[in-house]
Amino acid sequence: MTVALFTLGGTIAMGGVGKGAPGGGVVTRLTGADLTAAVPGLAGVGEPVEVHDVQAVPSASLTFGHVLDLLDSASDAVAAGATGVVVTQGTDTLEETAFLADLVWPHQAPLVFTGAMRNPTLAGADGPANLLAAVRVAAAPQARELGVLVVFNDEVHAARWVRKTHSTSTATFASPDLGPVGHVIEGRVRVLGVPRRPDPLFPPAPGAASPSGVPSAPDVPSVPGAASSPAGSLSARLPRSAPGPAVFDRARLAATRVALYTLSLDDDGGALEALAAGHQGLVVAGFGVGHAPAVSAPVLGGLAERLPVVLTSRCGSGSVLRETYGAVGSEADLQRRGLINGGLLDPYKARVLLRLLLASGAGRTEITEAFARLG
């Protein structure tokens, strides 16, 4: 048994100053072998680490396609017998990539994301410690069936809840609405709470072939039709729980655009029409529990008649309410105008979910039901 390590780049892998780098910043990429060689105690985990160096992409430049490609390879690693998978990447978008992965990851084997806030040229670089903790979690029986996890600063967070909360702190990742689900203490993985993880957004059919076409092992549920799909696996053809399978291909995903708009003081909504043009969906980060200026409410309602508009909170934690306030621009008013309640999902995760749903061909009813279940 092994732990599969997939490296995407990011601060954890920035090992030196590259020639011609603007401003002289760190740009040189370390390989997975470099990263593992710098981790004291890695051999003591008990399972060898199998390194896969993936395309080096700064996390600010990652796309859905990059993540889905990686998930295809991670699924193949699980099908080949990996106990768990670790992904290293930059932290800028890690909360979104982990949530995207969690929406479609069908395996009992844990998929663990980690990275670093201090690059290896700095005193107190946190990458080696984070990588060691992530490998320990990926190999731990307690982490099975928890879905996608984020491990940072010896804390274990569920992808559904985790947020990047500070631009530079090594303790940046937190789960404001839940807290960590576990810790790594003296090398031992302690899972303290197991939140209910909803089924993957596109659950695989029992007994289907694995994503790579290999017959499915008990721990390798997989995707019908993937073996014959030119796109490969998880991202090729994914059935959803609604009637009928949904074709989920890269061309459709790339053509699906979802805008994100944050409301602010004295906002009249004038920019919303232009922003929504050319998009198939819109996520609105409203005030507090899901409020908008009264003057913008008719604009939002008009947009909701043409495309799905999901209402979230810009606060960073807490839920959008449903029926506490009733004034123009309140959460109840906006829902009457057709906006979809995003629940506890922050704006960034709501955008990930909405784009996946639209790319799968989901209609308004299915989208509303999905947010009620996952939000």
Tokens linked to 300: 């939002």
Of the residues 7, 11, 88, 97, only one is catalytic, namely 11
Strand partners for 6 = 52, 87
CA angle, corner 105, sides to 103 and 108, nearest 5?
A: 130
Neighbouring CB atoms inside 10 A of 134's CB total 28
Residue 79 and residue 53 in contact, taking contact as beta carbons nearer than 8 Å? no
Strand partners for 182 = 156, 191
Non-local (6+) Cβ contacts of 239 within 8 A are: 202, 203, 204, 205, 223, 224, 245, 246
Non-local (6+) Cβ contacts of 368 within 8 A are: 340
Identify whether 368 is a catalytic site residue: no
Sign of torsion, CA 126 13 172 349? Answer: negative
Tokens linked to 71: 């998930």
CA angle, corner 310, sides to 304 and 315, nearest 5?
A: 135
Of the CA atoms within 13 Å of residue 143, those in its CB half-sphere come to: 33
Instruction: Please state whether beta strands 182-185 and 155-158 pair in parallel, antiparallel, or not at all (unpaired).
Output: antiparallel
CA 210 to CA 107: how far, in whole Å?
Answer: 11
Q: Which helix (H) or strand (E) holds 67?
A: helix 64-79
Helix 347-359 / helix 94-104 crossing angle, nearest 10 deg: 40
CA 322 to CA 341: how far, in whole Å?
Answer: 7
Residues marked active site are found at 11
